[in-house]
Amino acid sequence: MDKGIYCLVISHPPCRVRIGAIGEREFSARFHVYIGSAQGSGGLKRLDRHVRVATSRNTRPKWHVDYLLTDPRFTLEYAVYAPTTERLECQLVAALGNHGTTGFGCSDCTCTSHLLFRNTDPKEEILDAFRHLNLQPAIKTIITPDAKDNI
């Protein structure tokens, strides 16, 4: 499987969530964007794992983002991803900038956060940031079990 980089776009109401060792955090309503790396042996299969966690919600949290994906108040709307062998997630965070949840998803780098807040759907902003890094972004639509019943 290809190695790469991805953004998970998650919507939710205002709430508080305990995130493992970093503790309880408050989340304003709207959208959060989680920027992740898929440079490990599974490559972009990591993205598939996030989708499974979000749609089944019965996985024990392993990474910070799992605490959001397993919480029923949070909905994984879609993911933007691109194949690359370069470690560009911190550059993508910098390109997207803005408010983040301190200490979230960045234990292996010097970024303040890899979870950024947005008031509106950030799809075009994310696509532009990927292109700015000379990446060819693709969008993965998420179909939840409830949505499948309505098709």
Span of 96-100, 102-106, 132-136, 146-150 with lowest mean pLDDT: 146-150
Please state the domain count of the chain: 1
Residue range of the domain that includes 48? 4-149
Residue 115 to residue 105: CA distance in whole angstroms: 7
Asked whether 96 and 113 are in contact (CB, 8 A), the reply is: no
Residue 5 to residue 94: CA distance in whole angstroms: 14
* pLDDT per position as a tens digit, 55-75: 887 888 888 899 999 999 999
Backbone φ/ψ region at 26: left (φ over 0), alpha (ψ -120 to 50), beta: beta
- Ramachandran angles phi, psi of 129, nearest 5°: -65, -40
pLDDT, position 74: 93
pLDDT, position 142: 82
